[in-house]
Amino acid sequence: MTPTWVQLTYLACAVCFILALKGLSGPKTARIGNIIGAVAAVVAVIIPFLYLDLKHVPLILVAIAIGTAGGVLGAQRVQMTQMPQMVALFNGVGGGAAALVALLELRELVPVQDSVNWFVIVATAFTIAVGSISFAGSIVTFAKLQELMTSRPVVFPGLRYVFPIALATTLVLSVRLVIESHVWLGVVLCLVGLLIGLLLVLPVGGADVPIVISLLNAFTGLTVAAGGYVLSNVVLLVAGTLVGASGTFLTLLMAKAMGRSVANILFGALKGGSTLGAGVASDRPVKSAGPEDVAILLGYADRVIIVPGYGLAVAQAQHTLRELVDVLIARGTKVDYAIHPVAGRMPGHMNVLLAEAQVPYEQLIEMDHINGEFKHTDVVLVVGANDVVNPAAKTTPGAPIYGMPILNADEAQQIVFMKRSMRPGFAGIENELLFDPKTTLLFGDAKDSLGKLLNSVKAL
């Protein structure tokens, strides 16, 4: 019987997780929300040492020390551009850990299976299967984002048949596991789950990878919740449910922002489509200019909108961009940042990046609220973004991003594109906005170009 004080402490930790999630919903409260959640997690980890007669304590402490060291090093060394990869790894580690714990619990349940509630076995099978899927899928998303493998969809003849067969096998194994509760069935179920994870993510490419990360995050949350039921741990149950529900909701919102269904994102390549274009740099002529010419456009504009993207994060140019915006505002220019829901490589990527540069939250305007402003804008400055302003989403039915709501940068009086080269964005398709007569390209590294642009604006 769990002592009352332990139950109350776990309940307090669960409440803290809910408060942490609420805090993370806004930039002003995100830091305190993160701290509350972290403290609650530490307390929940410590509690078992205080009331249980644990075995193998030295091994547990070594594992905690290794995990803590990895977390600290990751927090210190991982760049903002690598944050999506780290999130993908966290997803995978969580799902894999839940699957391993379920396998160990299955070994304990086998001798007493006749006296065990059947739903506990169901939860165990679910945790093994979905945790394995999340682990394998997350590793593939990490490899795609880290460019350890191609980010293009990977398909092979027969994939559309192998995948449903693997799913059916998982269901059969899960049912048998509930009936017979053999450890070897759990191991085979885990292996098939790993295969499904690979088959699920390999056909996904391009701009759809962030949505898959969110979906796998929901999977991991559900496995943790199911694992909490198996272990009779209310903290895991509540935390997993929160992650599963919020991850599912976020996945649906992102899919809506892309103008597509989750099923189309996951299985579109199986139908012969693609979520990634050719990825070849264009040799068509464009209008380009130097920092001095662009500075004149910005310096004498009454209304400017900044469109940040992944290139801004790669160059770590957010601080220089904020300085430029501060100078423009001091000159009397009205400036806002247009934030697309899937800009960057993960949800909220641009919000976090700009918050790091102390950009006032009031200047960050979501797509639905700022799209009507572009037609009244003198200059749009696109910094490292591409797909989120690509008119092909509205004009080219065959394009991978067709149907995705975009920022209406093409409606502005003048567009300035800051790019390293003419290579396409993450979706791999050409952007016709680059060849619009209203568009001027400023080539070069974003941080270097913004620094020169800042000096030129100051000199006006």
Catalytic residues: 387
- In 3D, which of 278, 284, 290 has the Cα closest to residue 418? 290
For the stretch 236-243, contacts whose Cβ atoms lie closer than 8 Å and that sit 24 or more positions apart, written own/partner, are 238/14, 238/17, 238/18, 239/14, 239/17, 242/17, 242/18, 242/21, 243/217, 243/218
Identity at 202, one-letter amino acid code: L
Paired strand residues for 416: 381, 440
Distance, CA of 448 to CA of 460 (rounded, Å): 19
Distance, CA of 347 to CA of 248 (rounded, Å): 13
Q: CB–CB of 83/349 below 8 Å? A: yes
Q: CB–CB of 84/213 below 8 Å? A: yes
- In 3D, which of 18, 270, 229 has the Cα closest to residue 125? 229
**Tokens (6 digits) for 298:** 């910005």
Q: Is the dihedral angle over the CA atoms 90, 128, 148, 351 positive or is it negative? A: negative
**How many CB atoms sit inside 10 A of residue 24's CB?**
18
Distance, CA of 40 to CA of 34 (rounded, Å): 10
**Tokens (6 digits) for 149:** 């493998």
Q: How many CA atoms lie within 13 A of 336 on its CB side?
A: 20
